[in-house]
Amino acid sequence: MTFASRMSRVTVSPTLKVSAEADRLRRTGVDVVDLGAGEPDFPTPEHVKAAAHAALDSNFTKYTPSAGILELRDAVAQRYRMDYGVDVKPEEVIITAGAKQALYNAAMVLYEQGDEVITHGPFWPSIVDQIKLADARPVVVQTHMEDGFAIKAASFIEAMTPRTKAIVINSPCNPTGALMTEAEMALLADAAAARGIWIVLDFTYEKLIYEPVPHNLVKILFERMRDKTVVCNAASKAYAMTGWRCGWAIGPKDMIAQCNVVQGHSTSNINSLTQKAAIAALTGPQDSVTMMLNEYRKRRDAVHGWLTADPRFVCVKPGGAFYLFPRTLQPDDVAFVRELQAELILTVPGVGFGRRGHLRISYCVEDETIERALPGFERVAKRYRK
């Protein structure tokens, strides 16, 4: 069969592949230890579910405006006012099916053939594949384990050319957990603003930052280049709402209107009940976010602790998100991940994130699951000479 040429440039998301494998094994009755999935194991908070029940009971089940209901766009704007001290208007917000669609809309609206779009590696794969789907060329600047995978402005500035259309920053980063500092973002924003380059900020893990470090990247961007800033985010990770599919993009009014044109011709509005639930999540009590963060911190420390007790597992302690990205004990990360899989432990090979010789471990699983993984890791590690 012949498909459009763009399809030859993209691949299936490696994390979705692992989820499918976990599902397949579970269906055959195998009890896997799934450290591959990138989603909270906590249930969605009760008050959020109650808002969806109430919406259903009141028959809020029809089309809504494609960009999302005003009340929700207002709730997003309000959240950013409270969290980051920035003034956002509802017409600068579009509600999308997760952060993924927010980023995809931005790619469709901003990038085209001949454009270069710079991002940092190791990367969340959809960032790069969406650039390719928009017919542009991804330029990946590498971050390094030796300095905690720090996201540095200088590497982007060096990679800029007259063809550079945009820069995509993911902070906290999936898979490394690294945060971009405010100082680095200020340097990058000044350089991008001077050249008319867009910055797309993937802020999906913004609420999952373990130490109280300043991370107001939104304000820094808005102060320097508001007319070329897009912030993409979602309720998915912060509120344990991955399946509900609620994200948003915040950008200049005209750009958001263009996103709405793309969305209006593809998916239209996200699920109406989800929109009501998301309002409850954004405007309601935030203590569940703190509770989950505290749990993830404990798990991060536990897994990082037992992993690095074997000094051969070189691994940065991440500042955010819920992943560890250690070096594998052999250069072939796919083979190493297969060895773990034979022990019924599912992880994702680094190659899927553009970095061989690493693997990604999600620690958003119950303590008991973490404990079950340890013996399998030890058995695999024993096969390698010290």
Ligand X SMILES: Cc1ncc(COP(=O)(O)O)c(C=O)c1O
Binding site for ligand X (CB under 6 A): 38, 98-100, 124, 170, 174, 202, 204, 234, 236, 242, 247
Nearer to ligand X, 171 or 328 (CB): 171
Q: Which is nearer to ligand X, 51 or 127 (CB)?
A: 127
**DSSP state for residue 43 in the 8-state scheme:** P
Please, what is the minimum distance in Å from the beta carbon of residue 18 to ligand X? Answer: 12
Residue with Cβ nearer ligand X (40 or 339): 40
Q: Under a CB-based contact definition with an 8 Å cutoff, are residues 104 and 130 in contact? A: yes
Q: Which residue is nearest to ligand X (CB)?
A: 98
Measured from the CB of residue 124, what is the shortest distance to ligand X in angstroms? 4
Nearer to ligand X, 170 or 339 (CB): 170
Least separation in angstroms between residue 103's CB and ligand X is 6
Whole-number Å distance between alpha carbons of 183 and 150: 12
Closer to ligand X by CB, 101 or 339: give it: 101
The least distance separating ligand X from the CB of residue 79, rounded to whole angstroms, comes to 15
- The closest alpha carbon to 156, from 194, 104, 210, 130, belongs to 194
Q: How many whole angstroms separate alpha carbon 346 and alpha carbon 201?
A: 29
In the complex, the smallest distance separating the C-beta of residue 377 from ligand X, rounded to whole angstroms, is 23
- Tokens 């908070």, residue? 45
Integer angstrom CA distances of residue 151 from 25, 103, 322, 350, 368: 37, 19, 18, 18, 34
> For residue 379, which of 350, 347, 341, 351 has the smallest C-alpha distance?
341
Distance CA 219, CA 212 (A): 17
User: Which contiguous run of DSSP H or E holds residue 170?
Assistant: strand 164-170
CB of 13 to ligand X, least distance (A): 9
Q: Which of 73, 106, 104, 103 is nearest to 90 (CA)?
A: 73
Q: Which is nearer to ligand X, 168 or 329 (CB)?
A: 168
